[in-house]
Amino acid sequence: EVLLVESGGGLVQPGGSLRLSCAASGFTVGTNYMNWVRQAPGKGLEWVSVIYRGGSTYYAASVEGRFTVSRDISKNTLFLQMNRLRPEDTAVYYCARDLPASDWGQGTLVTVST
Amino acid sequence: SYVLTQPPSVSVAPGQTATITCGGNNIGSKSVHWYQQKPGQAPVLVISYDSDRPSGIPERFSGSNSGNTATLTISRVEAGDEADYYCQVWDSGTDHLFWLFGGGTKLTVL
């Protein structure tokens, strides 16, 4: 059974940093496309980032240069390093497997506020 | 940049057919995927590659894509189908590569 479990969310001040984790089981993160998708409160889905099987990474324009996606195959875990956070980054962050996304985690809430 | 347009809301009576559209310039040349999201839950893939139904998704869910409009059709709508629905495409160019979601459509079962 495929399982994705996000963690690392919380309250952070504008300009701060946070690192999200997505622990995977039932498959290997290194053999799948892995994505981060976010959803601001009461809003729609917004794609954030993808890491390809080969390691290539791509980002939405809204986070380019501030967020970095990575993975640790030995831990079977996906990461999202978020720097220079802004209030508009407040959202539930989901990790999702493959293209299209066949499996999703339950999400972790990031709140950027003073 | 490419834009996907969905109606904000669609209402349908139980047992009837719901049609949710996703408009985009020549979207028929792209592969469209559809997700269902119920309140407080993660999205679920209900249609992939225009019309493929993942395992476990009822046959009542179907999809099509042509010209400038992709369509998600839910036949014999049930109360449990009430949710937000999002279309999604993969967009790429010489200097960018990303997913794009439509704004979402709230399906209300009357």
Q: Read off the pLDDT of residues A66-88 as tens digits, 9 standing for 90 and up.
A: 999 999 999 999 999 999 999 99
pLDDT grade for B48, boundaries at 50, 70 and 90 = very high
Residue B97: per-residue pLDDT: 67
- For residue A74, give both structure tokens: 């030995």
Residues of A with CB below 8 A from B43's CB?
37, 45, 94, 96, 101, 104
- For residue B110, give both structure tokens: 């009357």
Could you give the C-alpha distances from A40 to A37, A87, B41, B53, B82, in angstroms and in order? 10, 10, 14, 28, 21
Asked if the C-beta of A58 comes within 8 angstroms of chain B's C-beta atoms, the answer is yes
CB contact under 8 A, B103 and A44: yes
Mean pLDDT throughout A103-113?
97
* B positions 8-37 inside 8 Å of A (CB): 33, 35, 37
Asked if the C-beta of B63 comes within 8 angstroms of chain A's C-beta atoms, the answer is no
CA distance B55 to A14: 42
CA distance A107 to A39: 9
More confident residue, B25 or B2: B25
Give how far B105 is from chain A: nearest CA, Å.
Answer: 9
CB neighbour list of residue A74: distance below 8 Å, 6 or more residues apart: none
Residue B99: per-residue pLDDT: 87
Q: Does the CA dihedral A2-A23-A64-B104 come out positive or negative?
A: positive
Please determine, for residue B94, whether its predicted confidence score (pLDDT) is greater than 80: no
- For residue A34, give both structure tokens: 């892995």
